[in-house]
Structure 1
Amino acid sequence: MTKWIPEFAGAKLPKYIAIADAMDRDIGNGILKPGARLPPQRDLAYDLKVTIGTISRAYALATERGLIAGEVGRGTYVLARQSPEPELAGSDFRGARPETSPALAQALRMDSTAGANVGQSAVIGPMLAQVFIDEPLRSNDYTRTIPDEWREAGAAWLATGGWRPAPDTIIPVTGALSGIENVIAAVTAPGDKIAFEDLTYSALARGAALIGRRAIKVRGGDEGLDPDDFERVCARDHPKALVVIPTLNNPTITIMPESNRRRIAEIAHRHNVWIIEDNIYGKALDDAPPPFAHIAPEQTFHVSGVSKLLSAGLRAGWVSGPPGFANQIINAKKLMTGGLPYAMTEVTARLVLSGEAARLTAAILSEIRARGDIARDILAGHHFASHPRCPYIWLTLPDPWLPGTFKNAALEAGVAIVEADSFKIGQADRVSHCVRAAFSVLESREDVRRGFEILRQLLDNARVSYDGME
């Protein structure tokens, strides 16, 4: 029998839930190993100074979660966890051939959503050089303080949907993905569960898995994350945080209505769940709904960066969070990815505060609209989701195409795209015969036209989906 005393001091949940959560966490951490026999309920109740009814309810909840099983006359034992889903077990994000593949090296890269080239290098390059001239010591040293200008720039960049964060809530980070992982590391512990929409930018979940967190999925739909399913997941799995892309979800392009945002915020509040809001595309919209950070500022971390609407090469972004968490996030960042690169962060702040970032963003959005018009024209007659300010198409494949088969056929024809499975958080219940075809990193509008014409030919000739079968 294992001598196990759960740690749940300070938990705000009912004791039986806190004990079941501690069991879940300790199983995830390896403290409780598969096959281990748990203490008898009466013994554990005595050790914890709680009633046997509390322990009975805790064991019952853990049994419902599939953590333990009891056998009459033998006791209660820890069950082995199911193996990680293949998508979360270290596969490449694109689910494609390695970057060294000759076919991929020669393909039209419609698998990336970095900001379109509108000549920003001619602005960024001289400004970056000027930073090294103006601040030679700081540019060659570790960043030890956060200047007020960086916070002001972050507040300006994060502003959306009628909301603008206070500068004193701003933390500079090295891009949105890094910032989200820093927040997860700061406010959760190894073994904790993090909820994600079932179709999303799954690198977020994979990054969380690398630091010992467990991804669980919430069903999505035409209006983004489903509040009813989120309520169910919270009651059943007790996630510690929700990571959500409410505006122009990647890849489905959904925009969550304000009513659903308010419902989700209320559910998260009742279940004590942090909201981590990825707003990487939110700044593209002039009429975006209010962000979660406006609706529920006390429990939301709002994150964005400049990779999509300014330059992916800058690797800069910001987090705005509830008061009192700045040092935790800064320390998590230092431990996980090191300090901030002074020159990159400084030049990004200068771009924002000088107005150059706004000018370049407007040019990028104009180019996205023009390229999207080409895609929509060529794909006319097929079913797809798009938005004039979104740099990709979410294309539904006609029968008998399957996403993986279509992706492979496209690559053989010279076009790299991403299939739906690469965005799934485990084995999603939602069937999605879709691919994402992006167009922002292609060199010219002519390349955009050529790429979508190739995809159109494949769509109209579904018989090739059977080629190569033996």
Structure 2
Amino acid sequence: MTNWLPDLTKGTGPLYLRLADQIETDIGEGTLPPGEKLPPQRNLAFDIGVTIGTVTRAYAVARERGLVSGEVGRGTYVLDRHLEGARTPSMAQQMPERLSVIPEATPAAIKLRMDTTSAPEIGQSAIIRNLLNQITQKHPDKIGDYTRNWPQDWREAGRKWLTSGDWKPDAQSIVPTTGVHAAIMAVIAAVTAPGDKIAFEQLTYASISRSANLMGRRSVVFANDGEGADAEDFERLCAQQHPKLVFLMPALQNPTLSVIPIERLKAIVEVARKYNVWLIEDAIYATLLEGRYTTLASLAPERTFHVGGLSKAVAAGVRGGWAACPAHMAPRVQTAHKMVTGGLPFILAELAAEMVNTGQAESIRGDVRREIAEREAVARRVFHGLDFNSHRNIPYLWMKLPEPWLSGTFKQVAANEGVLIDDEDEYKPARAEKVFHRIRIGFSMPSKRDQVAGGFATLRRLLDHGNAGYDSYG
């Protein structure tokens, strides 16, 4: 059909949704009967004065609603919804679990979470369920009460999980916590006071900065680059601002994926000693590394709080975390953790310890690594030719946006297309003039690999088309 022209003056909202609604209305009223061919996208865009991207998105919504079907080379046709099986199966239904091709883009009606990086589901839910049943039977008198004593095996689990290469923390230095974020906030509460300054890299896990600000601490920022925290700029900051503590992710930093070289680590330690700065070493992603890495705690055990947990490698909902503290600081951090969080739930602490001490956490970590590697390989295929950082063990990409995209604008466009991602502002601990034009794309939350690839395909299409295919008026 070539003479159908929709009326976009009706309705509210974005133009592509108005167009999709008009298609549905005209089908319902018989203006577009079953089997009718819709105008080619480029022709319709010209006739009604919108971008081709608007028409493409409208047709995609119409397909998702089961109104039309599209065939490459033939066009888009109105379906007879009264016929059994008339709706074309979705790509997710047709795709095998192991991908060899890129599926069609994610429909705009679906919000695909690619803004989080918790451990992917690889069957650990069944293990957790069985362990919880065992714990409730074994400790019926403890699961409903406050946690009054911390068994030694909780500390032993932390010692095992945090060990890296030749560095092994003392079990008595371990404080079990309700996740890594809680561990970090307990350390901040234990060693700083309201008004104290905490140093952060210019790009980092900024939720810590925001949480610290709520507690009355002040954030100060220094530079980082492709190799991680800049030791020289850190010294400049220490000399000028005198921070009490610095938060670092030396191995597989979030979001840049950098790993600080050993010589730079040593330089950072020297600066921290010179200016008497405490170090927090967040190893939440480093635990996914298969090889060894040098820890700050091994270089400066007297001032480093090394924290890690299960959320990225085993299961986020377990809330298993531990802090390895400098000598004599564990009781202080333990008390601060109770004051900040309200206490450690027995059932979660016992579950985390049981998973580590029985070896099940290690087994799950291996499966999680393999699943992440499969998904990262898909990302490298889909985004081939673009500028991004990735690692086969880490469930996110740090993507450089091509011209003329801006980070915040692209995040909004992706959300309009049904894919949730993070822009660079999410990782800035303070206001800054420097702009990186980057986004972070997580890929562990979707349950199926074909969903991940569909999200990648949507983002690739947007990146390739540029913002000429985007409008926000209407």
Structures share fold, TM-score greater than 0.5: yes
Q: CA 1:387/1:130 → structure 2, altered by over 3 Å: closer, same or farther?
A: same
Q: CA 1:429/1:292 → structure 2, altered by over 3 Å: closer, same or farther?
A: farther
The residue number in structure 1 matching 2:331 is 327
Deviation per residue, 1:212-239 (Å, 9 max, x gap): 0001111010001100000000000000
Matched, 1:376 2:380: yes
Distance 1:332 1:276 in 2: 15
Matched, 1:418 2:422: yes
- What letter is aligned with 2:367? A
Name structure 1 gaps, 5 residues minimum. Answer: 1-102
Aligned-residue offset at 1:465 = 6.2
Q: CA 1:380/1:170 → structure 2, altered by over 3 Å: closer, same or farther?
A: same
Matched, 1:149 2:163: no
Aligned-residue offset at 1:159 = 0.9
Structure 1 segments (4+ residues) deviating >3 Å: 103-106, 463-466
Asked if 2 retains the 8 angstrom alpha-carbon contact of 1:400 and 1:465, the reply is no
Distance 1:104 1:310 in 2: 31
Aligned-residue offset at 1:466 = 5.2
The residue number in structure 1 matching 2:283 is 279
Structure number with larger C-alpha Rg = 2
The residue number in structure 1 matching 2:202 is 198
Asked if 2 retains the 8 angstrom alpha-carbon contact of 1:458 and 1:464, the reply is no
Asked if 2 retains the 8 angstrom alpha-carbon contact of 1:372 and 1:391, the reply is yes
Matched, 1:108 2:112: yes
Matches within 5 A, 1:18-37: none
Distance 2:125 2:108 in 1: 25
The residue number in structure 2 matching 1:270 is 274
- TM-score by length of structure 1 reads 0.77
Q: CA 1:224/1:120 → structure 2, altered by over 3 Å: closer, same or farther?
A: same
Aligned-residue offset at 1:327 = 1.7
Matches within 5 A, 1:254-403: 254-403=258-407
Distance 1:338 1:418 in 2: 30
Matches within 5 A, 1:126-141: 126-141=130-145
- Pick aligned residue for 1:444 from 444, 448, 457: 448
The residue number in structure 1 matching 2:191 is 187
Asked if 1 retains the 8 angstrom alpha-carbon contact of 2:311 and 2:318, the reply is yes
The residue number in structure 1 matching 2:228 is 224
Aligned-residue offset at 1:283 = 1.3
Aligned-residue offset at 1:430 = 3.6
Partner secondary structure for residue 169 of structure 2:
coil
Deviation per residue, 1:321-376 (Å, 9 max, x gap): 11111221111111111111111111111111111100000000100000000011
- What letter is aligned with 1:278? D
The residue number in structure 1 matching 2:169 is 165
Asked if 2 retains the 8 angstrom alpha-carbon contact of 1:118 and 1:364, the reply is yes
- What letter is aligned with 1:187? V
Asked if 2 retains the 8 angstrom alpha-carbon contact of 1:383 and 1:396, the reply is yes
Distance 2:444 2:250 in 1: 21
Distance 1:259 1:465 in 2: 47
Distance 2:220 2:439 in 1: 23
The residue number in structure 2 matching 1:428 is 432
The residue number in structure 2 matching 1:234 is 238
Say how many residue pairs are matched: 368
**Identical-pair percentage:** 44
Deviation per residue, 1:246-280 (Å, 9 max, x gap): 11111111111111111101100010000011110
Asked if 1 retains the 8 angstrom alpha-carbon contact of 2:244 and 2:277, the reply is yes
Asked if 2 retains the 8 angstrom alpha-carbon contact of 1:217 and 1:425, the reply is yes
Asked if 2 retains the 8 angstrom alpha-carbon contact of 1:405 and 1:465, the reply is no
Aligned-residue offset at 1:469 = 5.7
Distance 1:290 1:427 in 2: 31
- What letter is aligned with 1:338? G
Distance 1:366 1:334 in 2: 36
Partner secondary structure for residue 317 of structure 1:
strand
The residue number in structure 2 matching 1:124 is 128
CA RMSD in angstroms comes to 1.4
Partner secondary structure for residue 141 of structure 2:
helix
Asked if 1 retains the 8 angstrom alpha-carbon contact of 2:288 and 2:393, the reply is yes
- Pick aligned residue for 2:219 from 215, 237, 252: 215
Distance 1:222 1:385 in 2: 10
Matched, 1:251 2:255: yes
Partner secondary structure for residue 472 of structure 2:
coil
Deviation per residue, 1:27-51 (Å, 9 max, x gap): xxxxxxxxxxxxxxxxxxxxxxxxx
